[in-house]
Structure 1
C-alpha cells in the first residue's frame, strides 16, 4: 500500500500499525456514548476482522486493532452501512470529550447534550491550522481536565450569600471542599478568590441563605498537553449554555483567521499575545 493511500486512510480513521500489514480503525462516539446496537456491531467487527478485542482512546473513541489491509474496505463498508463514524485525526476539531455531568450528581450542566450539539455543528470542520481539541467538564471536579484543551468548558453554579437568612449552622462550611467558606460568629464569610463555583453550598443550605445567582459555564482557551503543555486561560465571566455553540464558533473562527499552518492554538496565543487574543475573543462574545 502506497504512502498516499495510508495518509488518506488515516484521515478516515484507519491508522497503520507498527506491523504495516494491519490497521486500527478508530470509531468516533457521541461524547463517549454508543448505543447497544452499534456496540454489538463493533464486537462483530472485532471478532470477524480483528483479534476479538477493542480499546478506548483518551478522547473517548473506540479502536479496533489488527484489521488486515486487505479487509479495510470491507470494514469501512460495514461501518458506513450501520451509521458508525470513523475518523478523529487531522487538522480539524477532534472528537469531543465530555464527562458524565448529564447524569453525575456533581454535574452543573448537561455535558452530553452540549457535546452532541457542538459535534453536530463543528465536528470535522476543516481548515484549522492544527488539530483543535475541546473538552467539557460538568463541574470543577474537572474529570476531563478542561484547561488542557484548546477550548475547555466547565459547569458553574455561582452562589449568592443572603446574610439575613443565615443562622450560622455551618452546613455550607462542611460542604465546601476548597475551604472557601469560613464561619465567623453566627455568620459565614465566602472567599470568592478560592471559590470554584461548584454550587455545593447551595445544596447544603436548608434555609436558602446560599442562593443560586447564576448557572452556566466557564470558558478556557489555549490549553494543550503532550510533549509540551500549557494551562488554558479563563475568559472572564460565566456564560449561558445557550451561547456555547456561538462561543465555539468565535474561537474556531479566530484560530482559522490568525493561526499559522501547523501551529496549535496555544502557540498562536503566545505569538500574538495572550491578553490580545483574550480581549479580541471577549469583544466578539460580548457582541452576541
Structure 2
C-alpha cells in the first residue's frame, strides 16, 4: 500500500528509515549503556511482535529494533510508555514535559519526543573495570536530564579512565574519568614498580631517585590514569577521594571533516562538568537563533568559535581550584582535495622470459 510518510517526523520520534520502503528501526535509549536485564524482555517483545525478530546493539548503545512497519509505530510507542517512564523519568529524573527548556506536553503513548540529544554512551567504568576512575553510567544518568529531551543535537561519550575505550576523543563532548594521586614517601620501598608502570602504560612522568630511594614526579604531564596506584605493592600511591574529569571537545567522524577532539577542561570536578553541560541548551539556542536543525554539537562550536563557546558554556560556572581551561583550541581536520588535472601514476609491467 502506497502511503506518504514524513521521514523527519518519524526520525524525531526515534525511528530510523530502512532501505526497505515502509520499514523503520526503533532506537531505544539506554543512558550510559547500563540498565537492568529485565528490560531485555521489552526488547524481545517489540522485536517479535512488530519487528523482524532481531535487534542491533547500536553504536550509541541503543537497542536498535529493526523491521518495524510504519503502521505499527503507534502500537510500539504505546508499549514503550512504561520503559520510558522507568528509565528516563524515574532512573534519570528527566522531565519529559520540557523540550529544550520549553514547556511541551508529552504524550505518554507517543514514544520519545525527540531524537535530538543522542544517547549518552559509556564504558563500564569502575562498576567493574580495575582501570576505572569513575562510575560512568551514574554520571550519564545525571547528565541525561540536562540534555534530553531537546531538539538540539549533541553526542556525549564517557570513558572511565584515560585508556578512553569509549572513544571520548571522537564526539562532541568526551568526558574522561581521572584521578589525582597522593604520594606517601614513608610507605615507599623504592622498588620502582610505579615507574615501570608509568613508562609502559602512561606518560613517563615518574622516576626513582637513586640517592633517596624515593619517587620524583613531573606533574605537568600526568594524565590521572592511576596506574601507579595499581602497581605499588606498598600503597605508597593512593587516589584522592575527589573524582576529577577531563573534557574533550569537538571530535567527530563523518565523510567530510573527521577530526580528533581537543582538551577543553582538565581536573574538573563532577559539579563543574554538570554545570557546564547545564549551559548546552542555552548555547545551542544562541548559535541557531532558537531554530534547531539537525546539526551536531561540534558544528555548533565551529559556528560560534571557541572563544564564544567558552564564554557561554562557562557562564555562571564556579570552577574548582584544580580545574584548568584551554585558552584556545585549534582543531586539525582531514581535508579531501580533488585535482582532475593530475594524471594517475602509470603501472608498468615488464614481461618475464616465460611470457
Q: Same fold (TM over 0.5)?
A: yes
Alpha-carbon distance, 1:196 to partner: 1.7
1:244 alignment counterpart? 273
Alpha-carbon distance, 1:15 to partner: 1.7
1:71–1:272 Cα change, 3 Å: closer
Following the alignment from structure 1 to structure 2, what is the Cα–Cα distance between the partners of residues 280 and 79?
Answer: 36
More helix by share: 1
SS where residue 31 of structure 1 aligns? helix
Decide whether the 8 Å contact of 1:147 with 1:220 is kept in 2.
yes
Decide whether the 8 Å contact of 1:99 with 1:136 is kept in 2.
yes
Question: Of 282, 301, 307, which aligns to 1:253?
Answer: 282
1:28 alignment counterpart? 29
SS where residue 277 of structure 1 aligns? helix
1:199–1:15 Cα change, 3 Å: same
Give 1:98-113 correspondences, 5 Å limit.
98-101=122-125, 102-113=127-138
1:235 alignment counterpart? 264
Alpha-carbon distance, 1:269 to partner: 3.6
TM-score calculated relative to the size of structure 1 = 0.85
Give 1:192-207 correspondences, 5 Å limit.
192-207=219-234
Decide whether the 8 Å contact of 1:88 with 1:95 is kept in 2.
no
Alpha-carbon distance, 1:240 to partner: 1.6
1:201–1:121 Cα change, 3 Å: same
Give 1:1-288 correspondences, 5 Å limit.
1-4=3-6, 6-83=7-84, 87=112, 90=115, 92-101=116-125, 102-126=127-151, 128=152, 131-163=153-185, 165-176=187-198, 177-178=201-202, 179-185=204-210, 186-213=213-240, 215-227=243-255, 228-259=257-288, 264-275=296-307, 277-278=309-310, 281-282=313-314, 284-286=316-318
Following the alignment from structure 2 to structure 1, what is the Cα–Cα distance between the partners of residues 41 and 315?
Answer: 47
Decide whether the 8 Å contact of 1:50 with 1:64 is kept in 2.
yes
Alpha-carbon distance, 1:165 to partner: 4.8
1:70–1:153 Cα change, 3 Å: same
Decide whether the 8 Å contact of 1:26 with 1:87 is kept in 2.
no
Which sections of structure 2, spanning at least 5 residues, go unmatched? 89-110, 321-355
Aligned residues: 283
Which sections of structure 1, spanning at least 5 residues, go unmatched? none
